[in-house]
Structure 1
Amino acid sequence: MFYRTATASQQTVASGRQSSVLHRLAPQLLAARPSISQQHHLNAASPAQWSSANRSAALLGLTRAGSLLAMSCLADEAMAASYTEEPAVATSSFAAASAVATQLPAEGNGKPASTGPMLLASGAFVLPHPDKVAKGGEDWYFIAANHRAVGVADGVGGWSEVGVDAGAYARQLMGNAAVVADESTASAPDAQVELSAQEILERAYSQTTVRGSSTACVAVLNGDSLGVSNLGDSGLLILRAGKVAFHTPQQQHGFNFPYQIGSADSMSDSPSSAQRFEVAVQPGDLLVLGTDGLWDNCFDEEVASVLKYCGEQKMEVAKMAQVLAHYARHRASDSKFASPFAYAAFQAGYAYMGGKMDDITVVICQVQQPAKL
């Protein structure tokens, strides 16, 4: 169900703007729609065959993506004001964006050879669950002041059942990660200091003192090599020339039970359990970091289509993050959408249809050469 209803005047304005957006967006969305033969194959497939290799054929709901994306691109004021259960200021109060850039070091130690320094232009947007707007949701993120490290974290909601703020751990963890990343380069801000995503995660974890637990994904750019440490079901996607080049796999103990790090009384996993990756990147690549509120509601191909449209509209990365978050919210609200979460539930033996309402945090970074920023 949708959690907001536009006024009559807003609906009139929205209708005209949606038509314009849909007209421009329709060709690429139709191109991404599964063919009749693909749909037949999907219907005949067993749950074990529903894997990332054929998820593009599973996008039966993508035919409606045009209208959903159009809704996401409407005036932010109208979108926020149309909520009936939350104040108009809520969306912007917990959203944040930052354009960042710096000169990055050359690679070594057997990693891909650097072609020279590259930069990140980054933006972030946090869209809390409609029921958690007052406290800002349970997700958070960081973009370090040295402009070389980013991350997202998703607080485990079960803590609220015992009177603990489930978002406090994620917020402190990400705040600590930002400090650790900055301290790593503070002594030699102009030198080519290599950052480690895993070290940032582990040191931030050791400094986090509040009760709770969360998933986490941290990424750092060293030259043209991206280091990633991901624990749980948050994650990072790389888009190159509009195509999916890389996506971190999820770490799950069981269905809807991701790996997590937390306080001593949380019986959580060790940060050393994080999966670690080194991926060569190129100028123009888009990095998409998100909590499970994004990945449970959007297939990779949908994310690529939305950001392709954003790029064609010359949007800044902060606006891209905002549009993608709202797109995921619409998917979460669709009770008839065969979402990634629904497919995962089916594979685990549960009957479930629709998106999954949740906090949604998106960080988008574009790899750029210095002259481009």
Structure 2
Amino acid sequence: MSLRSVQLVTPRLFTRTRIAAFSTCTRRFESHSTSDPLRFSVGVGYSGKDTPPFVSRERANEAAKKGFQPDSKIGRWKREMMALGGGRVELFDTMQESKEDDWTRENSGLADRRRWGSGEDSFFVNESVSRKTYLAVQDGVGGWSDAGVDPSLFSESLTYHMYTSTLKNPSAKPVDVLIKGYAGVLADEGVKCGSSTSCVVSLDKGRGLLEAANLGDSGFTIIRNGAVHFASTSQTVYFNCPWQLAKLVNKTPDAASNRPEQADLYQQALKPGDMIVLYTDGFSDNVHPHQLVGLLKHVDNTLASPENAFLDPLEREVERARLLADVLVAYGRMVMGREDVQTPFELEAAQNRLKWPGGKLDDITVLTVHVGQD
């Protein structure tokens, strides 16, 4: 089905990290108050940084070879996850590159975007268990590339083993999912070394409850009644160096390394109409919270158009999540290519006496969830 187009208005490194002792995890709990069962509609959006217009098509095809290969167990599973999303469109009218070489006609195919994938990011969605929906986003730490290590291998292995743990234990707490996933990547002979941030969330439709474990600078936000209701906070060693799960070789010097038990734990009550957004820092470094809210309003206005009156209530919920994921990735990518937009990353750099104009080029992964009621 087609939707009326959305009109939008513009508004980690591994290097020099260190091993450090950290305090125990924080917990932010909110008791639930929803008595009727909820339902969750999930949208998936992703894009690697090594894709047009930031690099040539040839370089994008070469970058797509990173990570587990398609004929491997994890590679086959990865293709299943990629098929859940990747319908991203670009905001052509605001990207200078599209005016200069009109790359969009050649490179905007869905098959290309799925093949190019999410770069060093990884994610999973598991809606197959009876009571809970599990989601997670991981960001492989790109600094490992300087040591000749493919950062995608660690994040993809971590994600795969987290996913399989939810199949084996469909009532697991997010921190337990994180612990199982980390144990899996440590035992995975296909991953020699690497590190990754992680944010894993479970959504309990019977209890109306979100539970989460977040380690590093990925995260999640809950939007309610047109405003940010709750947002997780980042864990960082210092600027641009997040806390991270790591697999080190011979006690690799100057490497940050944390335990899953050090993740911040969250529990939040959910209400019908809530929108939950999980993201890697490729999104949160480039898009302010108020812009996230504004983009959701654009999506809601699109769905409220008479041209989309044919959607029934459930279709509308599905499209709200799907379209928002698409728009958030497109907007984040637009900002990455500009120096005239003040981003969260620019502001944080300034606080650390560094000059960084505009957006930060990075992989971006977004999972969106519309909360409905059965």
Alignment TM class, shorter chain as reference: 0.5 to 0.7
Distance (Å, rounded) in 1 between the aligned partners of 2:139 and 2:208: 28
SS in 2 for 1:172: helix
Distance (Å, rounded) in 2 between the aligned partners of 1:292 and 1:168: 18
Q: String of CA shifts for 1:107-139, please: whole Å, max 9, x gaps.
A: xx9943541321211111111003574324100
Note if 1:364 corresponds to 2:368.
yes
Task: Determine the structure 2 residue equivalent to 1:217.
Answer: 199
Task: Determine the structure 2 residue equivalent to 1:120.
Answer: 40
Q: In structure 2, do the counterparts of structure 1 residues 110 and 247 end up closer, same or farther at CA, with 3 Å as the change threshold?
A: closer
Map 1:197-346 to 2 at 5 A: 197-208=174-185, 209=188, 210=191, 211-222=193-204, 223-265=207-249, 267=255, 268-314=257-303, 315-346=319-350
- Percent identical among aligned pairs is 32
Q: How many residue pairs end up in the alignment? A: 262
Distance (Å, rounded) in 1 between the aligned partners of 2:179 and 2:371: 25
Distance (Å, rounded) in 2 between the aligned partners of 1:121 and 1:150: 12
Unaligned runs of 5+ in 2: 12-28, 65-116, 304-318
1:138 maps to a residue whose letter is: E
Distance (Å, rounded) in 1 between the aligned partners of 2:331 and 2:348: 20
Map 1:41-80 to 2 at 5 A: 64-65=10-11
Unaligned runs of 5+ in 1: 1-17, 30-63, 66-108, 186-193
Task: Determine the structure 2 residue equivalent to 1:176.
Answer: 161
Q: Once the 2 structures are TM-superposed, how far is the Cα of residue 312 of structure 1 from its aligned partner?
A: 2.2
More helix by share: 1
Whether the 8 Å contact between 1:126 and 1:140 is mirrored in structure 2 is no
Whether the 8 Å contact between 2:6 and 2:302 is mirrored in structure 1 is no
Q: In structure 2, do the counterparts of structure 1 residues 110 and 154 end up closer, same or farther at CA, with 3 Å as the change threshold?
A: closer
What is the TM-score with the length of structure 1 in the denominator?
0.66
2:147 maps to a residue whose letter is: V
SS in 1 for 2:293: helix
1:156 maps to a residue whose letter is: V
What is the TM-score with the length of structure 2 in the denominator?
0.66
Q: In structure 2, do the counterparts of structure 1 residues 356 and 195 end up closer, same or farther at CA, with 3 Å as the change threshold?
A: same
Whether the 8 Å contact between 1:127 and 1:359 is mirrored in structure 2 is yes
Distance (Å, rounded) in 2 between the aligned partners of 1:272 and 1:127: 29
1:321 maps to a residue whose letter is: A
Distance (Å, rounded) in 1 between the aligned partners of 2:277 and 2:359: 20
Q: String of CA shifts for 1:40-76, please: whole Å, max 9, x gaps.
A: xxxxxxxxxxxxxxxxxxxxxxxx33xxxxxxxxxxx
Note if 1:129 corresponds to 2:49.
yes
Task: Determine the structure 2 residue equivalent to 1:139.
Answer: 121
Whether the 8 Å contact between 1:154 and 1:214 is mirrored in structure 2 is yes
Distance (Å, rounded) in 1 between the aligned partners of 2:167 and 2:322: 22
SS in 1 for 2:169: helix
Task: Determine the structure 2 residue equivalent to 1:98.
Answer: none
Q: Once the 2 structures are TM-superposed, how far is the Cα of residue 264 of structure 1 from its aligned partner?
A: 3.6
Whether the 8 Å contact between 2:120 and 2:155 is mirrored in structure 1 is yes
Structure with bigger RCO (C-alpha 8 Å, 6+ apart): 2
Whether the 8 Å contact between 2:30 and 2:267 is mirrored in structure 1 is no
Distance (Å, rounded) in 2 between the aligned partners of 1:365 and 1:148: 10
2:337 maps to a residue whose letter is: S
1:148 maps to a residue whose letter is: T
